[in-house]
Structure 1
Amino acid sequence: MTGAHGMTGANGMTGANSRNGGTVRLGAGAGFAGDRIDPAVELARHGELDYLVFECLGERTVAAAQVRLLADPSAGYDPLLAARMRAVLPVLAGRAGSGSGTSGSRTGRRTRIVTNAGAANPLAAGRRIVSIARELGLPARVGVVTGDDVLDVVRRLDPVVWETGEPLSAAPEELVSANAYLGADGVRLALQQDADVVVTGRVADPALYLGPLLHEFGWAEDDWPTLAAGTVVGHLLECAGQLTGGYFADPGTKPVPGLARLGFPFADVGADGGARLSKLPRQRRPADHADVHRAAALRGRPAGRLSDPRRDR
């Protein structure tokens, strides 16, 4: 069962979004637990985003978070959560309140944050974000999505392990982590409760992006082609820097100067699920259609519905 919980740091960030041309702009703030923070800050400052998404969780990292939680009940979330929030919350709060921006049609936008940095303890992560917002004197309403931790359920059911043919309880090692992949609905529910920041545990990676699209466009839960298109966009964006040059670069064969400045992508997504992927112009090497197809192929998803910026100019 998915639960969406509300936490309030103050009265909530101000500034309502009026979509530019009927699109929603989603930006990738991280693609893995240890990802760099500076590209996210650049997107927060210059990207004119509706949503900034930090994808920070994998099977190994959620298990490691469970181990930290066993040692400290107040721990268990992503170690870089506080650093990321301290870096971007002041930028986003300033943009929403000032009405300043680099693109006239998107000035003064409210940019909301979605992240799975809650890892093994999303409630503690939510409380940490509220604490940071208060410390910085910033308004923030935080939504927490729970329900992915099924460790107690798995222990109770004691299933047969496929590889050994024996009950799980017969394994010599202690079971420390069992998480279900939640979908996008919990994220959507949290956004409907007007959360400025949504923090989750283990959800499917593209759900971090699909949730905002469900909230913004109200897609029907059985509109499979459009849901599939939104899922593809989410899969691509959660690759972060791999989408904007990481998959292209091959040191020694295809060296890319200034690779540390390749930047992270964003996408303008329409109500039909079509998307235009791009990046900030000040960063090295623009997003390339070939990178998109490489990322889609590695994710096992077609990229046929994504537009080619070279054709669409």
Structure 2
Amino acid sequence: MGSVSTARTTLRLGAGAGFSGDRIDPARDLAEHGDLDYLIFECLGERTVATGQARRLIDPNAGYDPLLDKRMRAVLPHTTATGTTVVTNAGAANPLAAAELVARTAAEVAGGPVRVAAVTGDDVLEQVRRHNPVVWETGRPLSEHTEELVSANAYIGADAVIPALELGATVVITGRLADPSLYLAPLAFEFGWQASDYATLGAGTAVGHLLECAGQLTGGYYADPVTKPVPNLAHLGFPFADVRADGSAVFGKLDGSGGTLTTRTCAEQLLYEVGDPAAYLTPDVTADFAGVSFTQVGPDRVAVEGATGGIRPDELKVTLGFRGGWVGEGQISYAGPRALQRAELAGDIVRQRLHEVHGLATENIFVEFIGAGAAFRGLDSSSDPHEVRLRVTAQAASFDAADAVGWEVEALYTNGPAAGGGARRSVTEVLSIRSCLIPRHLVPTDVHLLEVTV
């Protein structure tokens, strides 16, 4: 898989983002003060790649992460000065356009020459149509689905990124690269790990999985003010890892940054979104985290070892995006005595009008009472809340039908219960997200290199 680039004993990888909307200043701090070899931005989820595809359907030059330019402007002056390589899947649905954007940005802000590589091949729409796989959520072949299929993105692995690093890329932009593969690719490249060395690849995948959500490892999402207090969350520091050639690592964060890094934060992140810790399937390896151990080796420093792995899957997961119509939403607040009863009456009015006047099916109309048990669906609330926010959503086949939802909620101002206020409305086109598998030989990848001379 990898080819040794230098005689390294350790490699420092920093987490620059854990999702599309993540903060930028902690990544800038790492780029400036982290003494990093690589800075990694994980910016994709199943819905974010589908949202990117929806933007690309409207504008062929769009589809990449909306914050990509801001992120690169924040870190490239530092990464080019320190020799830090950037790897990100923020290319989303359009890695080539993303690479061109980064090249233009680098020409303005970089402190030296930049080689921007776009990794393509995860867009497998035509392959999926030809292969006609079974869709997980329905158990039926793709060809039996009547909805319009508009996107299909395979989870590619580290072997797609390594050729870009071999070409000397200093910024690598991919589409639907699997989250831990963002980190595994630099490790395999720098240490020369082979594609058949599943034990070491499993260890490297554990490193990537621990870092991939950025601030979650240093106390974000973990925090609770009573049982798990975390200091200075307003300035949460993102983590880095010093990784050895055997895949073991010590995790840390910048001294003085907010948050906390302990064996407990690491244990929670290790299990995050993992169904079977002994068989975590990735494009690179079937990782085994069952024997992982954490040791606190200093303030905000945790050592990890014990991960291993087995043979990689023969098939790759694919995220499918189907046109799913439109969703309309309306919200309005009620406060004071009997707030919940007034909100319930308002919800009944809107539900009835959406069905009888606008023809929406009742099973596609959803009413929530935020502040009165909305997060505990199906459970009755015994409290008498002082304020309740009514939220009505409905799925419809057209924009106009979906727009009726917010319209009817707003009309409650003078046509509904007393003292409603703060109405808001929106309409959003929906891509329904489903999944399937296809053989990995149907997913060839390629690298496109752009040279930027500053």
TM-score of the alignment, normalized to the shorter chain, above 0.5: yes
Pick from 214, 232, 239 the counterpart of residue 265 of structure 1: 239
2:131 paired with 1:131? no
Whether the 8 Å CA contact 2:89–2:176 is kept in 1: the answer is yes
Q: TM-score, normalised by structure 1?
A: 0.84
Which residue in the other structure is 2:131 paired with? 157
Which residue in the other structure is 2:25 paired with? 38
Name the one with the larger strand percent.
2
Comparing 178-187 and 133-142, the one that deviates more = 133-142
* Equivalent residues, number: 282
Which residue in the other structure is 1:74 paired with? 61
The verdict on how the C-alpha distance between 1:305 and 1:145 changes in structure 2, with shifts beyond 3 A counting, is: farther
Q: Which amino acid aligns with 2:218?
A: T
SS of 1:249's equivalent in the other structure is coil
Which residue in the other structure is 2:179 paired with? 205
**Residues 61-210 of structure 1: pairs in structure 2 closer than 5 A:** 61-94=48-81, 96=82, 110-136=83-109, 138=111, 139-210=113-184
Provide the rounded CA distance (Å) in 2 between the counterparts of 1:145 and 1:70: 20
Comparing 292-301 and 239-248, the one that deviates more = 292-301
1:18 deviation in Å?
Answer: 7.7
The verdict on how the C-alpha distance between 1:303 and 1:198 changes in structure 2, with shifts beyond 3 A counting, is: farther
Provide the rounded CA distance (Å) in 2 between the counterparts of 1:128 and 1:28: 22
Name which structure has the greater RCO, CA cutoff 8 Å, separation 6+. Answer: 1
1:246 deviation in Å?
Answer: 1.7
Q: Which amino acid aligns with 2:230?
A: V
Provide the rounded CA distance (Å) in 2 between the counterparts of 1:17 and 1:80: 33
Q: Which amino acid aligns with 1:262?
A: L
SS of 1:179's equivalent in the other structure is strand
Provide the rounded CA distance (Å) in 2 between the counterparts of 1:40 and 1:18: 27
Deviation by residue 1:129-179 (Cα, 9 ceiling, x = unmatched): 111111236421011111111111122333344544544344342212211
Provide the rounded CA distance (Å) in 2 between the counterparts of 1:312 and 1:295: 13
Whether the 8 Å CA contact 1:274–1:305 is kept in 2: the answer is no
Q: Which amino acid aligns with 1:29?
A: G
Pick from 30, 51, 60 the counterpart of residue 38 of structure 2: 51
Provide the rounded CA distance (Å) in 1 between the counterparts of 2:271 and 2:105: 39
Question: Max radius of gyration: which structure?
Answer: 2
Q: Which amino acid aligns with 1:25?
A: R
Provide the rounded CA distance (Å) in 2 between the counterparts of 1:283 and 1:137: 26
Pick from 53, 60, 63 the counterpart of residue 47 of structure 2: 60
Which residue in the other structure is 1:228 paired with? 202
Deviation by residue 1:44-89 (Cα, 9 ceiling, x = unmatched): 0110000000000010000000011111111110001000001100
Provide the rounded CA distance (Å) in 2 between the counterparts of 1:115 and 1:164: 32
Which residue in the other structure is 2:258 paired with? 284
Provide the rounded CA distance (Å) in 1 between the counterparts of 2:177 and 2:62: 19
Provide the rounded CA distance (Å) in 2 between the counterparts of 1:137 and 1:211: 24
The verdict on how the C-alpha distance between 1:160 and 1:188 changes in structure 2, with shifts beyond 3 A counting, is: closer
Pick from 287, 292, 304 the counterpart of residue 292 of structure 2: 304
Q: Please give the root-mean-square deviation of Cα atoms over the aligned residues, in Å.
A: 2.2
Deviation by residue 1:76-116 (Cα, 9 ceiling, x = unmatched): 1000100000110012223x3xxxxxxxxxxxxx1000000
1:224 deviation in Å?
Answer: 1.3
The verdict on how the C-alpha distance between 1:288 and 1:133 changes in structure 2, with shifts beyond 3 A counting, is: same
1:186 deviation in Å?
Answer: 1.6
1:255 deviation in Å?
Answer: 3.9
Percent of aligned pairs sharing the same letter: 61
Provide the rounded CA distance (Å) in 1 between the counterparts of 2:218 and 2:138: 42
Q: Which amino acid aligns with 1:113?
A: V
Provide the rounded CA distance (Å) in 1 between the counterparts of 2:148 and 2:71: 32
Comparing 297-306 and 35-44, the one that deviates more = 297-306
The verdict on how the C-alpha distance between 1:82 and 1:293 changes in structure 2, with shifts beyond 3 A counting, is: same
Which residue in the other structure is 1:11 paired with? none
Gaps of 5+ in 1: 1-15, 97-109
Provide the rounded CA distance (Å) in 2 between the counterparts of 1:77 and 1:151: 17
1:262 deviation in Å?
Answer: 2.0
Whether the 8 Å CA contact 1:25–1:269 is kept in 2: the answer is yes
The verdict on how the C-alpha distance between 1:18 and 1:259 changes in structure 2, with shifts beyond 3 A counting, is: farther
Provide the rounded CA distance (Å) in 2 between the counterparts of 1:220 and 1:137: 33
Provide the rounded CA distance (Å) in 2 between the counterparts of 1:224 and 1:210: 12
1:294 deviation in Å?
Answer: 1.3
Q: TM-score, normalised by structure 2?
A: 0.59
Whether the 8 Å CA contact 2:230–2:260 is kept in 1: the answer is no
Whether the 8 Å CA contact 1:265–1:277 is kept in 2: the answer is yes
Name the one with the larger helix percent.
1
Provide the rounded CA distance (Å) in 1 between the counterparts of 2:205 and 2:136: 30
Whether the 8 Å CA contact 1:66–1:177 is kept in 2: the answer is yes
Pick from 9, 13, 17 the counterpart of residue 26 of structure 1: 13
1:248 deviation in Å?
Answer: 3.1
Provide the rounded CA distance (Å) in 2 between the counterparts of 1:119 and 1:42: 24
Comparing 163-172 and 45-54, the one that deviates more = 163-172
Q: Which amino acid aligns with 1:292?
A: C
